[in-house]
Amino acid sequence: MKSNKLKLNELKITLKCGFGFEETLAEELNEMGYEETQIMNRAVRIIGTWKDVYFLNLNVRCAISILVELDHFFIRSDEDLYKKALRIDWTSFFDISKTFAVKGAVFSTLFNNTQYPFLLIKDAIVDKFRDEYGERPNVELKTPHVVFDVYVKENEVTISVNTSGLPLFQRGYRSSVGEAPLNEVVAASLIRLSKWDRKTNFIDPFCGSGTILIEAALLATGIPSNIERQHYAFKNLKNFDSEVWDEIYANAKRIVRELPCSIVGSDISDEMVLKTRRNLRAMSFGRFIETSVKSFSEIQSSDEKCFVLSNPPYGERIEAKIPELYESIGNWLKHNMPNTEAWIISSSEEGFKSIGLKPSKKYKLYNGDLECSFRRFDIYEGSKRTKL
Ligand SMILES: C[S@@+](CC[C@H](N)C(=O)[O-])C[C@H]1O[C@@H](n2cnc3c(N)ncnc32)[C@H](O)[C@@H]1O
């Protein structure tokens, strides 16, 4: 039988992220002190320990889930997959009282049905437990205690345990959401991608339920994005070391007495602003973030430099007259917001065209399944005067 590969100091840790955010996640890991990163497709790989796994689940902002590799092998057939999976020491990872699920992705001509490899691995797990204990753990697809991730690329198989469980964008701070909320991991990744210096005054003029504002404040204060989250699948593994976790959790920053800059949000909908305020209540910095009900067009910057990062309606989930709206965003930036760096995420190419400003940077990325563009517009101090 294969020995348990989870040696303490050399785990292969894969942090999954969205398309286009690989470099952003690698940069975040570098900043945390993980210098050796390997960029993969929608993921970044590092080598580390279980302590790193716990630390990263709490602290990383730009990853969706964190996997630890259990085995990696090559197969010739479906039967081969079952046999090789049977050699894995499954009973050392979790006990019979825990439910489990096998998920993942399959890109292989060996399988006509892409779900079949998951079924084979599930059978191997169940058979292994039956052999050893005469009993088997139950499968639970919706909220399993333990999730195994299987990646098959042609004849190459990687089996990992998903140490996060529910995706890490389920931060635990958002009780109220709007119609088109931005995923928290996407919001955090956009802020990092924009290279906001965490000191310049920050504005989200289409704040909805406040995700961008909260992620900006979490970043600027150094409070872990997952400070409010309780669920982590690694707690259900047999090797869970609660002392190590308790120490990491206890040492995390959670209280701040001020923000390093002003962080301000507004939305035309009073219902949305109420949701933002409700979400902010969970955070120690909540009372420092100013929110108001108003249209973006009423915002006038002061002399100080401003940083705007926002996702206006795209016309997908929220109905809006896109060309008119984006044209007024362009005019507002030119006339009301001199000395501003503005970043807009939108799926509407028509909208971007109507802004009437040339972006100095643009990135293609996804908000859920929606292809979006994230663009930077620089409004200089003189722009207002030149235009008038
Ligand atoms: C895509 S949503 C923003 C979602 C937000 N990022 C979140 O995570 O909840 C766009 C928001 O723009 C707001 N909005 C629409 N027209 C507006 C206007 N003229 N001024 C300010 N907000 C507006 C809508 O009420 C909506 O909440």
Q: Looking at residues 267-277, what average pLDDT do you find?
A: 96
Per-position DSSP letters for 78-130, written without gaps between them = HHHHHHHHHTS-GGGT--TTS-EEEEEEEE-TT-SSTTHHHHHHHHHHHHHHH
CA–centroid distance, 41 to ligand 1, in Å, is: 32
pLDDT score for 316: 64
d(CA 303, CA 324): 28
Residue 378 CA: distances (Å) to CA of 108, 308, 360, 382: 46, 10, 7, 11
Amino acid making up residue 270: D
pLDDT band at residue 384 using 50, 70 and 90 as cut-offs = very low
CA of 60 from ligand 1 middle (Å) equals: 27
172-181, 261-270, 298-307: which range is least confident on average? 172-181
Domain architecture of the chain: domains with CATH: 11-162 (3.30.2130.30), 184-226+254-387 (3.40.50.150)
Give the model confidence (pLDDT) of 106-164 as tens digits.
999 999 999 999 999 999 999 999 999 999 999 999 899 999 999 999 999 999 999 99
CA 264 – ligand 1 centroid, Å: 14
**Rounded Cα–Cα distance for residues 89 and 82 (Å):** 13
Half-sphere exposure (Cβ direction) of 368: Cα atoms closer than 13 Å: 9
Mean model confidence pLDDT for the chain: 93
Name the residue at shortest CA distance from atom 1 of ligand 1.
313
pLDDT at 5 over 70: no
Residues 300-343 pLDDT 10s: 998 789 999 999 998 765 556 899 999 999 999 999 999 999 99
User: With the CA atoms of 165, 34, 221 and 20 taken in that order, what torsion angle do they form, in degrees rounded to the nearest 10?
Assistant: -70
Give residues (CB < 6 A) around ligand 1.
178, 180-182, 205-206, 208-209, 211-212, 267-269, 272, 295-296, 311-313, 318
The 10s digit of each residue's pLDDT in 62-107 is 999 999 999 999 999 999 999 999 999 999 999 999 999 999 999 9
Q: What is the pLDDT of residue 181?
A: 78
Of 165, 88, 166, 95, the closest CA to residue 120 belongs to: 88
Is the confidence at residue 3, as pLDDT, over 70? no
